[in-house]
Amino acid sequence: MAAKDRPAFGQRFLDYLLQVSLIIIGLIIATSVDRCNTARKDRHRLTGYYQAIYKDLEEEQNATANNLGDAIKDVANLDAAIRRFGYADPDSAVAGLTSLNAVLRKGVFRTFSPTTYDVMLNTGDISLIRDIELRSELAGVFAYRTNIVRTDLADYDALVAETIAALAAYIDPACIVEFRAAAPCIRDVAGLADHGLDSLVLLSLAARDRLFHLQLAEGELEAVAKRVGEVLKD
């Protein structure tokens, strides 16, 4: 092509800018579409997580309510056992053993399986929860579950075993283990009244602490479950 037939430099530069602009616009559109698709997938995934978290919270509320009821009964039965053993007569001691065995026979049963919140932490998906306040509330509830409720349970179970051992000098351990409450089970009524109540008082204090912690857990679980439920309705 002769020099005179070539487009002017200015025209060539404009054509170049147009081509570059079209490429940039195409990239912007593609990126925006990709971001929209990613955001839509994230919202769908987060909704699934919220549904699973809500189910976890419901299960935790049920477990807490059951254990709270047990803790209330434990406090009442331990108080009754302490009072009856303190009378230092055989009939009252047998009644006290009946109250004590109500605590031991019931026991405490619950599991602490990994929660959806734990899974989100391990996978990094916790960042999907943009509501920092809600994320903080969830962290607090599930940390309390692990660090307080589960620890209370382990400590309480261990203290029950220590209490049985401490009372062995005054009550036949077989009667405790087999949950029998009869006069021959009491080895030393006077000794039980004078020296055997300390371990029961310690167990009663532990039961009260556990009751208090479960009451706190119940309130926090109700509040955060309500928050998650509201999010799912939106």
More confident residue, 3 or 148: 148
Give exposure, 13-35, as e/b (b: 16+ Cβ within 10 Å): eeeeeeeeeeeeeeeeeeeeeee
Q: Is residue 88 a contact partner of residue 189, using CB atoms and an 8 Å limit?
A: yes
β-partners of residue 171 are 186
pLDDT over 70 at 16, yes or no = no
Predicted confidence band at 5 (pLDDT cuts at 50, 70, 90)? low
pLDDT bucket at 2, cuts 50 / 70 / 90: very low
| pLDDT 10s digits, 111-166 | 888 999 999 999 999 999 989 999 999 999 999 999 999 999 999 999 998 998 99
- In angstroms, the CA 174 to CA 164 distance is 10
pLDDT band at 73, cuts 50/70/90?
very high
Q: What is the mean pLDDT of residues 228-233?
A: 93
CA distances from 91 to 170, 178, 183 (A): 15, 19, 7
Contact 220, 214 (CB under 8 A): no
pTM for this model (two decimals):
0.80
Q: Which run of H or E residues covers position 197?
A: helix 197-233
How far, in Å, CA of 93 to CA of 185, rounded?
9
Q: Show me where the domains of the chain are located.
A: 42-233
On the question of pLDDT at 84 being above 80, the answer is: yes
Token pair recorded at residue 103:
């605590």
Q: Is the pLDDT of residue 1 over 50?
A: no
